[in-house]
Amino acid sequence: MSFDLVRGDLLPVMPVAVTSGGVAVNLSTASSVEMHWVDPAGTEFTRALTPVSAAAGTFTLDWIAGDNATEGVYQGQVVAVIGGSPRTFPSDGSTYVWWVNGQVGDC
C-alpha cells in the first residue's frame, strides 16, 4: 500500500486493508481494531480504525490533529483483539508504510 499526505492535513483518510497471505481477514468478531504506528521522530500513536467492511477486512484511519505533524516515513501495524487475544497484521513482520510530505514554504 502506498499513501501520501501533506503535513498537518486531516484528509484524505487512509484506507487500510487487513490481509493475511494476500487474503482479506474477516474481523467482524473483533472487539477492537487499532492502528499502532511510529512517526519519523519515534513518537508512538494508537488509534481505533473505522470499519468500512469489517467482514472484508477494510477500514480507514481517520486523522486527528497531531497525527501527521512530522514529515517523513511512517510505519504501523494493525492490532485486532479477537476472542480476548491480540492478533497483529501484517503477521509477516512487515508494516504498513505511508509518507507525510512538507507544505509549500517548507522547502
Exposed e or buried b per residue across 24-46, where buried means at least 16 C-beta atoms within 10 angstroms of its C-beta: ebebeebeebbbbbebeeeeebe
pLDDT tens, residue by residue, 24-75: 999 999 999 999 999 999 999 999 999 999 999 999 999 999 999 999 999 9
From CA 34, how far away is CA 73, in angstroms rounded? 19
* Contact in structure between 25 and 18 (CB atoms under 8 Å): yes
Grid cell at residue 70:
512530522
Residue 107 has pLDDT above 60, yes or no: no
Task: Look at residue 20 in the predicted model and tell me its pLDDT.
Answer: 92
pLDDT tens, residue by residue, 63-105: 999 999 999 999 999 999 999 999 999 988 899 999 999 987 6
